[in-house]
Structure formats: C-alpha cells, structure tokens
Amino acid sequence: MKNYSDSIVRLKEKDLKFRVHLLQENLLSEDYHAEMEKIHIDNAIKLKHIIKEIGFPTIQKVGQEAYEAAWLIIQHSISLPIFMKSCLRLMKKEKKDINPIDIAYLEDRICFFEGKPQLYGTQFDWDENGILIPAPFDDLEKVNERRKKLKLNTLEHQTAHLRTEAKMENENPPSDWFEKQLKFEEWRKKMGWVK
C-alpha cells in the first residue's frame, strides 16, 4: 500500500501549498478560488479511484499520515457532495480504524453545506459583523456534551481559539458579506447541496 500512501500524501501537499499561497495573497476569505476548487476536485477524483481499488484508506491500510491526508482531501471536496457523503458512510462503516473526531468534522461539514444544524460545532464562518462564529448548531449544551465524548474542548473555548488562529494567519472576513452569502447560496444550488 506504500504507493497509495505516497500518492495520497502528495495530493494533500499540493492542496496545502496552494492554500498557503492564497493566505499570503489575502485571498482565502473571498470567493472560492477557481484554481483551489480545481485542485480540490482533482484530488477528490484521484482519491475516489484509490478508494475503488483498496476501499477506504484507513490507518491500518495506508498509515496515519496518508489516512489524515485522505481525510483532508475529503473535507475539501465540497464541490462533490455525493463523494463527501459516500466517504462519511464508509468512515462510519470502518469506524474501528477511523478517528471518531474525523467523522464528527465531516458530518458537521455536510450539515453546514446542506443548511442543517451541525452536531459538534466544528464548522465556523464569518458573520455580517466580521466576527468568526460557529455555523448554526442544534443546542449548545448538547454540542458540548458530544464534544466532551470526543475529548474536544467546549465550543466556547474552540471559538476563542479559532478567532486567535484567524488573526495569526491574517484571515479576514469577506469584504462584502452579503454578496458572499448570495454567491454561496448560488454555488450550493449549483453543486447540488440544496434545491
């Protein structure tokens, strides 16, 4: 499985290298960059072929680094909702060899794009006042209970942490929040996240 592991890690590295470029150019918070989307789609398609050959790339099959890389590629495959959802099903099926936190993050991400309340409070976005906040979730107490079971910090602590991290990485809210929301809704419909 060594070749599969190396291939998956290289895909992740390509993704992260371009993300650093967007951060340096202060382009990360604006529209979904076309080249970034292309990288995400290409990576997901390549990972999909690997999954067809070996099944889900669990830690046991490809090692920790490649497993984590595969999870990142899946998290970033937002233009391919069917692929993301199929990966979530596979991860739940293989849960003995999957980090449960990764399942929680992917489940929340899918909820976020479908416009449903997240269960673990892992997804964040800028509000109209330029403040980084958790995307809608079902109930703070329940969210914190679920997070505790996964040994995650409280949503309040995670919010403070991510706001600090965003400042350190020079991430900024979108220049026109309302315009971004309109484009996001159009994009979600186009991709098939919502009708």
Average pLDDT over every residue of 26-47: 86
Average pLDDT over every residue of 83-98: 95
Q: What is the pLDDT of residue 28?
A: 64
Average pLDDT over every residue of 90-112: 95
Q: What is the pLDDT of residue 2?
A: 65
Question: What pLDDT band is residue 126 in, cutting at 50, 70 and 90?
Answer: very high
Q: What is the pLDDT of residue 172?
A: 84
Average pLDDT over every residue of 67-86: 97
Burial of 18 per CB tally in 10 Å (0-12, 13-18, 19+): middle
Q: What is the pLDDT of residue 33?
A: 84
Average pLDDT over every residue of 51-68: 95
Average pLDDT over every residue of 170-176: 85
pLDDT at 30 over 70: no
CA angle, residues 150, 154, 156, in degrees to nearest 5: 155
Alpha-helical segments (H) within the chain:
2-24, 34-54, 59-62, 64-75, 81-93, 100-114, 140-149, 155-168, 177-191
Burial of 93 per CB tally in 10 Å (0-12, 13-18, 19+): exposed
What mean pLDDT, rounded, does the chain reach?
A: 93
Domain boundaries, the chain: 1-98, 117-195
pLDDT tens digits, one per residue of 149-160? 999 999 999 999
What tokens were used for 104?
């929680």
Q: What is the pLDDT of residue 77?
A: 97
Q: What is the pLDDT of residue 24?
A: 79
pLDDT at 130 over 90: yes
b/e per residue, 20-46, with b = 16+ CB within 10 A? eeeeeeeebbbeebeebeebbbebbee
pLDDT tens digits, one per residue of 95-105? 889 999 999 99
Q: What is the pLDDT of residue 98?
A: 94
Note the pTM of the prediction, 2 decimals: 0.91
